[in-house]
């Protein structure tokens, strides 16, 4: 597991916490009330998604470049 995979897992956890704060606001009251934390969770989740997509395409294109 490289550092980008670890970052993606952390971002996935942030996205899950954000989703949980929307659907279960009473259980995640402190998280749901803090807008800055929610915005940070969204930004980290989007960044991790972009990193995963870029990592995937880099792996695919590097294999294609080795063959061609």
**pLDDT at residue 45 tops 70:** yes
**pLDDT at residue 29 tops 80:** no
- What is the domain count for the chain? 1
Domain of 50, in residue numbers: 3-67
The 3-class secondary structure across 9-30, one letter per residue, is HHHHHHHHHHHHHHHCCCCCHH
Range 42-47 average pLDDT: 78
% of the chain residues with pLDDT over 90: 0
Task: Name the pTM for this structure.
Answer: 0.55
**pLDDT at residue 31 tops 70:** no
Tokens linked to 26:
């009473």
Tokens linked to 9:
């897992």
């Amino acid at each position: 597991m490289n550092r980008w995979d670890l970052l993606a897992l952390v971002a996935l956890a942030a996205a899950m916490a954000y989703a949980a704060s929307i659907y279960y606001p009473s259980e995640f009251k402190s998280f749901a009330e803090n807008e800055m934390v929610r915005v940070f969770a969204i930004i980290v989740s989007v960044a991790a998604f972009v990193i995963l997509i870029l990592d995937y395409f880099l792996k695919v294109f590097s294999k294609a470049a080795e063959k061609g």
